[in-house]
Amino acid sequence: MVVFWHLITSTVGFGAGAALLPFVPKPVKLTLLLLFLINAPSFPLVWHIRTLFWPYRSYLLSHLKGKRRWLDDWAARNAEKGRISGLRTRLRRVAWLDDSDFNLHLSNSCYAKSADPARFEYAGEALGPVFHAGAHCALGATHYTFIREIPIGSEYVLESRAAGWGEKWFYIVTEYIIYPKNHSTNGSKSHHATTPVQQVKISLAATLPVPPAGITLSAAPSPSASGSTTPSSRGADTPGVSTLEAAKSVASVRARKPREDGGVVCCFSVVEYCFKVGRVTVPPRIAMYIAVQSPLPSAREHARSLVLSKDGGRAWLRSGWKDELNAHTLGRDIGLEDVPTEDGVRELEEVESWVERGRRGMERVGEGLGMI
């Protein structure tokens, strides 16, 4: 730090020593120094350090602790956080000058730059052992929905979680959240009271039946100034407006209300990852199985033995899992709230899980993009 400060003062011309570049006017030097400091977070290799910190930290801890102790500590911490269904990671960032646009907001081009370290952190916290087995993630797609601007100088939080998966793609949601400094207690209480209602509306939007052709249903009535209820201005008199559409408008990502913790979601992002061992694609359920995510103790012990084997489970992850007797159902119970029987036999189709809802929703996104 002393050497750095001496370099700055000597460059500008302060201090006892001779100034560097004496032919450059001092105001110009100060301006260049200011630009240097403002853009320091975007210097070469800064993104690489922030992003690769998480995997290298994991490998370093595995080397220092020993793989067995590291795996036990990781599995215990992961279980405390709810495993794949309950785990959330939060990374704090500041909308600094180098990331902002001419409108003094976080530039749209910098959302991905900020999210990369957050997703790497989530992947390590949720699925660490699979990467020690030789797997890596390949990015298939990224989707962004910008809801609100993040003002320059604001601190924001990137919260990442799993959104579901299929036989190839694993979906990670990252929300960009700001916390307003001035919010009243009454407003917070009111939000807490209405949040369950909003969640019910969102859950109903996907299950409401589509009205028959030619029949239009009225939207919910709205109270008038006198206290009586009057039909909505977008009711039955307006062609093409139905209860289903009204509910879907509530379920829209842009209609999200402030969170229970007072945070406001400014951006909603979903990435599609697939797991690879070399050029071989590994189903997400298999990757999560070897990452000790199964609800069955016997399955977790099996995964632990694979990770601690001589090759770290690479051969099993690459193709060995196909030789298992239950290969077609292996890992399908991961992420479900109810614990299956010890032999793994259960009817997975009885109730649609959050995993299937997420997969179905993202498949519809792909279908919609294919129509453009």
Check whether residue 88 and residue 193 sit in a common domain: no
Check whether residue 6 and residue 147 sit in a common domain: no
Across-strand partners of 272? Answer: 141, 171
User: Does a structural domain hold residue 43?
Assistant: no
Ramachandran quadrant class, 64 (left: phi over 0; alpha: psi -120 to 50; beta: rest)? alpha
User: Does a structural domain hold residue 167?
Assistant: yes
Check whether residue 82 and residue 122 sit in a common domain: yes
Check whether residue 117 and residue 239 sit in a common domain: no
SS3 283: coil
| CA distance linking residue 8 with residue 341, whole number of Å | 67
User: Does a structural domain hold residue 216?
Assistant: no
Is the pLDDT assigned to residue 55 strictly greater than 60?
Answer: yes
User: Does a structural domain hold residue 215?
Assistant: no
User: Does a structural domain hold residue 97?
Assistant: yes
Show which of 262, 279, 300 is a domain's final residue. Answer: 262
Q: Please, are residues 302 and 324 in contact by the beta-carbon 8 Å criterion?
A: no
SS3 149: coil
**Closest of 71, 173, 135 to residue 287, by C-alpha:** 135
pLDDT average, residue stretch 272-294: 95
pLDDT average, residue stretch 342-355: 57
Check whether residue 188 and residue 156 sit in a common domain: no
pLDDT at residue 14 in the model: 52
| Overall size of the chain counted in residues | 372
**161: Cβ–Cβ under 8 A, 6 or more apart, which residues?**
87, 88, 89, 122, 172, 173
Q: Please, are residues 128 and 291 in contact by the beta-carbon 8 Å criterion?
A: yes
Query: If 0-12 CB within 10 Å is exposed, 13-18 middle and 19+ buried, where does residue 7 land?
Result: exposed
Is the pLDDT assigned to residue 203 strictly greater than 50?
Answer: no
Asked which of 31-35, 92-96, 361-365 is least confident by mean pLDDT, the reply is: 31-35
User: Does a structural domain hold residue 228?
Assistant: no
CATH number at residue 362: 3.10.129.10
* pTM for the predicted model, two decimal places: 0.73
Show which of 246, 262, 278 is a domain's final residue. Answer: 262
Check whether residue 100 and residue 157 sit in a common domain: yes
| CA distance linking residue 352 with residue 361, whole number of Å | 12
Show which of 243, 262, 281 is a domain's final residue. Answer: 262
Check whether residue 19 and residue 76 sit in a common domain: no
Is the pLDDT assigned to residue 108 strictly greater than 60?
Answer: yes
Q: What percent of the chain has pLDDT over 70?
A: 69
Check whether residue 10 and residue 88 sit in a common domain: no
User: Does a structural domain hold residue 17?
Assistant: yes
Ramachandran quadrant class, 298 (left: phi over 0; alpha: psi -120 to 50; beta: rest)? alpha
Q: Degrees (nearest 5) of the Cα angle 40, 43, 44?
A: 160
| CA distance linking residue 302 with residue 324, whole number of Å | 12
Is the pLDDT assigned to residue 99 strictly greater than 80?
Answer: yes
**Closest of 287, 256, 284, 286 to residue 358, by C-alpha:** 284
pLDDT at residue 12 in the model: 53
Across-strand partners of 173? Answer: 161, 270
Domain ranges, residue 28 = 2-38
Of residues 197 and 119, the one with the higher pLDDT is 119
Is the pLDDT assigned to residue 218 strictly greater than 90?
Answer: no
Check whether residue 145 and residue 254 sit in a common domain: no
pLDDT at residue 18 in the model: 54
The total number of structural domains in the chain stands at 3
Is the pLDDT assigned to residue 261 strictly greater than 80?
Answer: yes
What is the DSSP secondary-structure string of 33-47? HHHHHHTGGGSTTHH
Asked which of 42-46, 177-181, 219-223, 287-291 is least confident by mean pLDDT, the reply is: 219-223
| CA distance linking residue 195 with residue 203, whole number of Å | 12
Residue type present at position 177: I
Q: What is the pLDDT of residues 313-335, one digit of tens each?
A: 999 999 999 999 999 999 999 98
Check whether residue 359 and residue 253 sit in a common domain: no
User: Does a structural domain hold residue 59?
Assistant: yes
Q: Please, are residues 299 and 325 in contact by the beta-carbon 8 Å criterion?
A: no
Check whether residue 279 and residue 362 sit in a common domain: yes
pLDDT at residue 302 in the model: 96
Q: If you average pLDDT over every residue of the chain, what do you get? A: 79
Paired tokens of 122: 């989530």
pLDDT at residue 112 in the model: 93
pLDDT average, residue stretch 190-209: 40
Check whether residue 189 and residue 248 sit in a common domain: yes
pLDDT at residue 259 in the model: 83
Confidence band (pLDDT; 50, 70, 90) for 336?
confident
